[in-house]
Structure 1
Amino acid sequence: MAERLAWLLTAEGLPFEQLRIGGETRENFSVTETSTHREFRFVMPGPVVSEAEWQHCLDRLDGLHPAPLYLVLSGSLPLGVPEDFYARVIRMAKAHGSRVVLDTSGPTLRLALPSAPYLIKPSLNELRQLTGLTLETEADCLRAAREIVQARHADVVALTLGAGGAMLVTQDDVAYASSVATSVHSTIGAGDSFVGAMVWALNWGADVRQAFRYSMAAAGAALGHAGTELGSAAEIERYYQGVSLSSAASVVSAPKDEPRT
């Protein structure tokens, strides 16, 4: 399976480095029920990663030269990897001058925050888990996000609210974007598209609001495709033109449950 993944990356023309482990790359799959259009995801636990293997990953990240301007840490940690792994990577990356973008949840997110990543992208449910609060209203969400920023646990919080849009919170700014108007065929890849587009835009010099608009456009483009197909560059640019930002105070409430974006 690892060789298959490497082949797919090569076919896309993406540079990568393979860090081999003893176990096989995990496979996940999704099922869409045609009668209700509900989506079911089956996420496998994957192999256990040994201490020597995850330490090798840390050493390789520490030795990146030149250090990346942005480093994205995304997803749950494999079995065997300590819950503070992302916290260790954040401290290491910041020492080399990299900005870390963190997209994870649960104890891994909680333990990473004191190391102060540059940007975090929780969903509404993930922010609820982090804070232990119900976060019933937009004001509750804004307050929770601001507390993270004011505590210097992140410079930027990009909070996704599923069908309710998304909220951007920094020390000096708050912005809200409505969900892109599109027919939802699948939510697979929308969250990763959100993060990827934001980092891509920031990397070429966009300000955080402009990057936020691109993230909404990329997520919306992904939602319009079935399965694992994502939005094209042309689609993202088209959606970007329709993304407008407003004061988050104009939002009345946030939904209790939302698709993972």
Structure 2
Amino acid sequence: MTTGPRFTASRSSQGFLAAPLCSLLKDGNIDELYRFHIWLPGGQRGNLDFAVHSHQAYAQSWILAGLGNDYRYTFEPVTSLADATHAMYGLSWADGKNTSAVYKTHQTSSTVVNTGKLGRTTCTAGPTVHTRDMSYYIPSAAFHSTEVAPDILHATLFVFDSHRGFTEDAPVLGPKDTESSTQLRDPAGVTPAALANMVETMRSWEIFKEQGQQYSQRAHWQSALEAFNEALDLCESAPDFPNADRCKQPILAQLEIVFRNLRREDVQLQS
């Protein structure tokens, strides 16, 4: 078991904030790792040049809130620079003490270095849409990328399990003519507790919104009104609600439909 801060956040090169919840390492490699991933609204996303990557260990993701798109890829080695779309990059981590390819739970930065291995990348699947309470897996060494719109929150519980698959070599794909790139892990003061509160608030908002839509489909307008009002109240009263203005718009539109139908019912009752 690793030592140090129990819960700390860091910014991934893929653009999300990550908080390791449980980390078991064996011989410098991930044995099991439970990690909280959250993409915040505001446009801060990863470097798209290095979006396609792989993992040493088999990974499974459970969606906690929001919407993300997953893509899968193949990488066919080539010898000509002209034929290549990408190069393979080796990954190392720094924790303030040293930098190496040995995985570190609490990181200060990560660096990818061009290995000179060229190849042609082809997208073979996607976008596959993932929303709350869905789950998907990524085999070890499989190339994939995750795309999240810049104005929404998306959160997952990501679990790495080497017992279900592990490979020593899990490269990142990047530009064929770049030497290296470093990602600082500084979370800019955001804490795991604040992230968890935002995700819980967003989950509640999504549930109230879906309940309101279901009631509306059955013409249960009073129940729909109550559910949509709960969703609207979260947007207006929850501290640090992620992109409240964006989330209020569909709720207000739904409430307009509900009010129109409630007025129609009142007219019918009075006639």
The answer to whether TM tops 0.5 is no
Between the two structures, name the one with larger relative contact order (CA 8 Å, sep ≥ 6).
2
Q: What TM-score, normalized to structure 1?
A: 0.23
Considering fraction of residues, name the structure with more helix: 1
Q: What TM-score, normalized to structure 2?
A: 0.23
